[in-house]
């Protein structure tokens, strides 16, 4: 479980094919791996991955073909990736509850500088539109954000300078692909409502 508050922007230093999946080595800057053990989870661009090796300021994870098929940005060497260690029960929940299970890939429609903030317009897969609500939460590349506007399957977010400084969202342009995770509460509500109707 994660909060969507990014601790570091790392870099995919190496990607090696493993029977259709990949073994990634990720360099970190300030994540701090002293308290990370083999088998621990780290969210990489919003995808929960298991640490299989640690070497100094780098860690290694295996990414299955299934994960690669439903995410973007985990197969590009030298790509910057948002990193967050799994929550501890004593941690503050500064974002929202995030599972690290990417629901789909969205597309940046526009990214406009408003002066004091940036407006980011995203087109989500149509199947996710029902989970996206004004003032609700969504995760983009692992970053917890609040939705400000919704129209059909497009939604807008406002990003403050701190968010851009601390994440890889600053690299987005129109046409960029982003990993999306909808709010887990919305998923459970939709499931309960569909079961009640059936």
Is residue 121, in this structure, part of any structural domain at all?
Answer: yes
Q: Is 56 left (phi over 0), alpha (psi -120 to 50) or beta?
A: left
> Whole-angstrom Cα distance, residue 171 to residue 163?
12
SS3 per-residue string spanning the chain: CECCCCCEEEEEEEEEEECCEEEEEEECCCCCCCCCCCCCEEEECCEEEEEEEEECCEEEEEECHHHHHCCCCCCCCCCEEEEEECCCCCCCCCCCCECCCCCEEEEEEEEEECCCCEEEEEECCHHHHHHCCCCCEEEECCEEEEEEEEECCEEEEEECHHHHHHCHHHHCCCCCEEEEEECHHHHHHHHHHHHHHC
Residue position matching structure tokens 């083999």: 38
- Residue that is last in its domain, among 53, 85, 117: 85
Share the mean pLDDT of the chain.
94
Query: Are 138 and 192 within one domain?
Result: yes
Is residue 90, in this structure, part of any structural domain at all?
Answer: no
Please state the domain count of the chain: 2
Is residue 118, in this structure, part of any structural domain at all?
Answer: yes
- 195 falls in which pLDDT band (50, 70, 90)? confident
**Residue 25 buriedness (CB in 10 A; 0-12 / 13-18 / 19+):** middle
Of 80-84, 85-89, 192-196, where does mean pLDDT reach its minimum? 192-196
Is residue 97, in this structure, part of any structural domain at all?
Answer: no
Residue 179 lies in domain:
104-197
Domain CATH for 24: 2.40.30.20
> Whole-angstrom Cα distance, residue 114 to residue 106?
22
Query: Tens digit of pLDDT for each residue in 118-149?
Result: 999 999 999 999 999 999 999 999 999 999 99
Query: Are 70 and 28 within one domain?
Result: yes
Query: Tens digit of pLDDT for each residue in 138-188?
Result: 999 999 999 999 999 999 999 999 999 999 999 999 999 999 999 988 888
Is residue 2, in this structure, part of any structural domain at all?
Answer: no
Is residue 95, in this structure, part of any structural domain at all?
Answer: no
Is residue 3, in this structure, part of any structural domain at all?
Answer: no
Is residue 131, in this structure, part of any structural domain at all?
Answer: yes
> Whole-angstrom Cα distance, residue 2 to residue 108?
24
pLDDT score, position 188 = 87
Taking a C-beta distance cutoff of 8 angstroms, is the pair 58, 44 a contact?
Answer: no
- Residue that is last in its domain, among 28, 56, 85: 85
Query: Are 128 and 56 within one domain?
Result: no
Query: Are 183 and 125 within one domain?
Result: yes
pLDDT score, position 198 = 62
């Amino acid at each position: 479980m994660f909060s969507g508050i990014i601790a570091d922007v790392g870099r995919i230093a190496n990607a090696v094919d493993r029977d259709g999946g990949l073994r990634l080595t990720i360099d970190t800057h300030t994540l701090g791996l002293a308290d990370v053990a083999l088998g621990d989870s780290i969210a990489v661009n919003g995808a929960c991955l298991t640490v299989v090796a640690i070497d100094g300021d780098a860690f290694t994870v295996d990414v299955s073909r299934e994960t690669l098929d439903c995410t973007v940005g985990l197969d590009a060497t030298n790509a910057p990736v948002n990193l967050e260690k799994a929550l501890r029960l004593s941690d503050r929940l500064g974002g929202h509850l995030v599972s690290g299970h990417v629901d789909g890939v969205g597309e940046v429609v526009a990214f406009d500088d408003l002066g004091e903030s940036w407006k980011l317009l995203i087109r989500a897969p149509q199947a996710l539109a029902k989970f996206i609500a004004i003032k609700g939460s969504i995760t983009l590349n692992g970053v917890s954000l609040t939705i400000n506007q919704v129209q059909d399957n497009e939604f807008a977010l406002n990003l403050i300078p701190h968010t851009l400084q601390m994440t890889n969202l600053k690299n987005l342009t129109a046409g960029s692909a982003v990993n999306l995770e909808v709010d887990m509460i919305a998923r459970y509500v939709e499931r309960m409502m569909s079961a009640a109707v059936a």
